[in-house]
Structure 1
Amino acid sequence: MAESAADRGSAGRGTDSASGHGTPDPRRWRALAVCLVAGFMTLLDVSIVNVALPSIREGLHTPESDLQWVLSGYALAFGLFLIPAGRLGDARGRRAVFMAGLTLFTLSSAACGAAQSSLWLVIARLVQGLAGGMVSPQISALIQQMFQGRERGRAFGMFGTVVGISTAVGPLLGGLLIQAAGAEEGWRWVFYVNLPLGLICLLLARRLLPDTPSAGPVRLRDLDPLGVLLLGTGVLTLLLPFVQSRQWPGDGKWLLLILAVALLAAFVAWEGRCGRRGTQPVIDLRLFRVRSYWLGCLLILLYFAGFTSIFFITTLYLQSGLHYTALQAGLAITPFALGSAVAASPGGRLVGRFGRPLVAVGLAAVAVGLGATALAVHLVPGRGAGWAMAAPLLFAGLGSGLVIAPNQTLTLSEVPVATAGSAGGTLQTGQRVGSAIGIAAVGSVFFARVGSDGWSSAYDHGLVVSVAFVVAGLLVALADVGGARRGRNRGRRSVPPAAAS
């Protein structure tokens, strides 16, 4: 995930992965279980909160913009801290940073559940996202440290399974909790469920997780705080006019987009300067000289902007528009997550054979599935819409399984091994930033239509924007496929006839 997963993990395999003289740590599988539960918690909070949004809206009288910040703020804070936290874990000790992040995550979950206002909840979610960003890179780094060879592959495979399960069960678990505790206060238990898990994980982490023998002091500049600040404020400024579009009347808010461009340009300039001075930037701009890498990063940013926003508007439409219970809404959107989980494993096996065209097929399937979902809502109006959208959402989910993991494999395939950790962390950051952008853009269109045209029309318009992001990702994939074919053709023409024969 972050730099620690590869940059330093490979260097520490001889010492970190074993206890004593190369003997595997006998506690490594129990330690892995602790890591997997912590990873499940941080990833579950991406999907479980979606079904709680209408309940939060009623319980705290939350304005529409704050509902968007509850989701996009978590994603943004999570993504911004991934790479610095990975470096901090490598330098100061992965167990220490893991436990600090998990403690902060548990406390912020309690703060979310106890929120008495929407502002309180948004701030607590930002802290929760930051804490999740601290924990996540330590998991991949600890797997690198504790396991070798085939065992490492098994461990990463188990982590991948946990990622899929957390996405699939999030809506259902959220719906069950709200159903059991009541619509008015049930949303609080979506956050309180993290408390017992967090406390158990903390106790076991202290006992089971290994130290990092190479840990030592870390310089503040190695975490690139100015780079994090410039990127965070730039993306935040970009999101503000969309999220606050109804709260801030007039056109003056769109001037913030100019400021956002200036801040992001300053970020790029600063990161380039860091690279020339030999210090570690948040994002290594040299990676973007690799064509497959920058295209893959752009593709996944656009895709996450499209597909994560689907859950946001679908749960609001089903619960607030069609008066579904939280459990019914969770069941209605589960087919997408199930389809993605089913297709992920075949996608991982087939990507080596088909390459980027496989990702393009997946993106096309997602776009078609979402378009069919909008059609299903028109053909089966009223409370039957949830059943009607199940099949097209399943189809879209199957396409999604051919996108995320295969794209990661292809995007990192030409990256030098020495920079693989930084490249993976940057890719993850792009996913989270894309999620925040998509929720802001789709949400602004959705809420603008609710008041004048009703929930069904708002859902249609929101889906159009989501599909537009996915189609933009598809165009990037097709551009990569076309560029690769042109490169192969030029290579064939450059071979002399005698050599070719």
Structure 2
Amino acid sequence: MLAVVLTAQFMALLDVFIVNVAAPSIRVDLHASGAGLQLVIAGYTITYAVLLITGARLGERLGHRRVYLAGLAVFTAASLACGLSQSTGQLIAFRLLQGAGSAVMIPQVLSLIQRNFTGEARMKALGAYSAVLATGAAAGQVVGGVLVSADLFGTGWRPVFLVNVPVGAVLLVLAARVLPRDDSGAQGRARGLDLPGLVLLGAAVSALTVPLVLGEQEGWPLWTWISFGAAAVVFAVFCGYEGRLARRGGAPLISPRVLRVPGMGLAVFRLATVMAVNSGFLFVLSLHIQGGLGFSALRAGLTFAPMAMVFGAVGLTWRTWPAALQRALIPAGFALAGVSALAVGLLLRDGDDGGLLLYAAFAVGGVGLSLGFSPTLTRALATVGQQDAADASGLLATVTQLGQLTGVAAFGAIYLGGIESQGAPGAYTSADALLVCFYALAGAAALGAVSGLVRMRR
């Protein structure tokens, strides 16, 4: 069961990042604009992030097995449609549908782990879950590079989506056999879906992310700033509505009981920060090493291999490290991520390729990002009771996706804006824009380190 659900988790996470390496090919083949390219990448994450909590609630209401299978079927069908898309608009639309399928499927993974494992077995299962999340991001870059460079049957970038189809079909057969049957009694006691809360949250996320993605290309017109303000207002309305619903005995989208779990607020901040740094790092660097340095898709993908391997190894082993180090892991991880961002930006300035030191900097970044992510997620989930498994799963998965979305949109806008302000793109202008962007990434990592230090003092 664990192997089946984690394979689906890996596949869904892979699709967040596998498109990064394919982005230059998509841009040329479909004549996509910079904003269109960001929407191809971020569109998946928008619906994924907005619908995750509702996906968790659907699993609680209709049964985790049934909802997992439905989400996997939608994801697989949408992957086929993405691979066959003939325009940027079609690809964006099917990416939105693909994200919706993931949002329905992925919350069931954590819920199934929480409900079917206890004690040390649960900790090990959560460790494997964290390792899958850790490796999926960088592995997406590697797999994307291999598939794009292979140019199977002259299909170019399309296999990065089509590869999901046979894997999804096999998982559908296996999952139907190995996943535990749903408890009809528990389903009958499940709570409502809180559709008004879903609409408010979706509106707030959309009002924040659309101007982040489109604003730089449009020259930051007035509507982008109005949209940012509207996002803050709608989110405040969402919080007020959720609080009133909970006081009336309803079933809010985000349970206040989960938010009151000790350390949950800090965990939310850290997860959002580390995933923003991670996704921004990978997205911007993919554009630079292919567009600025002229790397092939295969070489670009393999460039991230050290980061993927180290990220996964640390995610699987950090719990066995000496007890004296455990309290310092999270702030040290953020600090290492910041150092790595600075090192990569400086190594690539002036249009250089960084040499072997670049791979060392990637490895340091892999260690840092994994230490910022894996202990935070595992410890947060380990403190939540089984009755709150669905809500906690939805909340933390949503925060993870919103962090990724923010990273692609915000740091992508910094990088693309830097290139356009300097004229025609090239190795030097791309490197200058990259350096500014990586200073911003290092600053975000520093905020995460500060949050870790605050927690240590408490």
What is the aligned partner in structure 1 of residue 436 from structure 2? 461
Distance change >3 Å, CA 358–CA 332, structure 1 → 2: same
Q: Which residue of the other structure, out of 134, 145, 148, is the alignment partner of 1:175?
A: 145
Tell me how far 1:158 sits from its aligned partner.
Answer: 4.3
Give 3-state SS (helix, strand or coil) of 2:218's partner. Answer: coil
Shift of 1:183: 11
Report the CA distance between 1:98 and its aligned residue: 1.3
Partner SS state of residue 407, structure 1: helix
1:399 pairs with 2:382: no
| Cα gap change, 1:91 to 1:416, in 2 (>3 Å) | closer
Shift of 1:441: 0.9
8 Å CA contact retained: 1:293, 1:415: no
Question: In structure 2, what is the Cα distance between the partners aligned to 1:121 and 1:307?
Answer: 24
The separation in 1 between residues aligned to 2:390 and 2:172, in whole angstroms, is 26
Q: Using structure 2 for the length normalisation, give the TM-score.
A: 0.90
Post-superposition shift, 1:192?
0.2
Question: How far, CA to CA, are the matches of 1:447 and 1:183 in structure 2?
Answer: 32
Question: What is the distance in 2 between the residues matched to 1:251 and 1:183?
Answer: 44
Q: How far 1:205 sits from its partner (Å)? A: 2.5
Tell whether 2:102 aligns with 1:132. yes
Letter of the 1:458 partner, please give it: A
Superposed displacement of residue 411, structure 1:
3.8
Cα drift, residue 417 of structure 1: 6.1
Taking structure 1 as the reference length, the TM-score comes to 0.83
Cα distance change, pair 221–247 in 1 and its aligned pair in 2 (3 A): farther
- The letter of the residue matching 1:237 is A
Indicate conservation of the 8 Å contact 2:137/2:308, yes or no: yes
Shift of 1:400: 1.5
Which residue does 2:284 correspond to in 1? 313
Matched, 1:359 2:330: yes
For residues 46-77 of structure 1, the C-alpha deviation after alignment (integer angstroms, 9 at most, x for no partner) is: 22111111111111111111222222222232
* Matches of 1:286 and 1:215, distance apart in 2: 23
Q: Structure 1 pair 449/150, CA: closer, same or farther in 2 (3 Å)?
A: closer
Q: Which residue of 2 aligns with 1:473?
A: 448
What is the distance in 1 between the residues matched to 2:278 and 2:320? 23
In the aligned structure 2, how far is the partner of 1:296 from the partner of 1:139? 19
Q: Which residue of 1 aligns with 2:9?
A: 39
Q: Is the 8 A contact 1:91 1:217 kept in 2?
A: yes
Match of 1:349 among 310, 317, 320: 320
Q: Which residue of 2 aligns with 1:488?
A: none
RMSD: 2.6
Residue 282 of structure 2 aligns with an amino acid whose one-letter code is F
Question: Does structure 2 retain, via aligned residues, the 8 Å contact 1:72–1:440?
Answer: yes
Specify every segment of 5 or more residues in structure 1 that has no aligned partner in the other structure, as ranges: 1-30, 485-501
> Which residue is 1:284 aligned to?
255
Aligned residues: 451
> 2:391 aligned to 416, 422, 430, which one?
422
- State whether structure 2 residue 245 is matched by structure 1 residue 270: no
Distance change >3 Å, CA 353–CA 394, structure 1 → 2: same
Alignment of 1:72-151 (within 5 A): 72-147=42-117
Q: Match for residue 377 of structure 1?
A: 348
> In 1, are the aligned partners of 2:342 and 2:442 still within 8 Å (CA)?
yes
Distance 1:202 1:405 in 2: 28
Q: Is the 8 A contact 2:115 2:386 kept in 1?
A: no
Q: Which residue of structure 2 lines up, in the alignment, with residue 53 of structure 1?
A: 23
Instruction: Please say if residues 92 and 216 of structure 1, whose CA atoms lie closer than 8 Å, have aligned partners that are also in contact.
Output: no
Report the counterpart of residue 211 of structure 1 in structure 2.
Answer: 181
- How far, CA to CA, are the matches of 2:8 and 2:392 in structure 1? 23
8 Å Cα contact 1:351/1:406 also seen in 2: no
| Cα offset, 1:314, TM superposition | 0.5
Match of 2:9, SS? Answer: helix
Conserved in 2, the CA contact under 8 Å of 1:92 and 1:215? no
Q: 5+ residue gaps in structure 2? A: 423-428
Per-residue deviation at 1:162? 3.7
Alignment of 1:439 with 2:408, yes or no, is yes
Which stretch of structure 1 is more off in the superposition, 263-272 or 131-140? 131-140
CA distance in 1, matches of 2:305, 2:152: 21
- Shift of residue 432 of structure 1? 0.9
Q: Is the 8 A contact 2:111 2:389 kept in 1?
A: no
Whether contact under 8 Å (2:349, 2:432) holds in the other structure is no
SS in 2 for 1:281: coil
1:117 and 1:356, CA in 2 relative to 1: closer, same or farther beyond 3 A? farther
Change (3 A) 1:140 1:192: same
Equivalent residue letter for 1:276: R
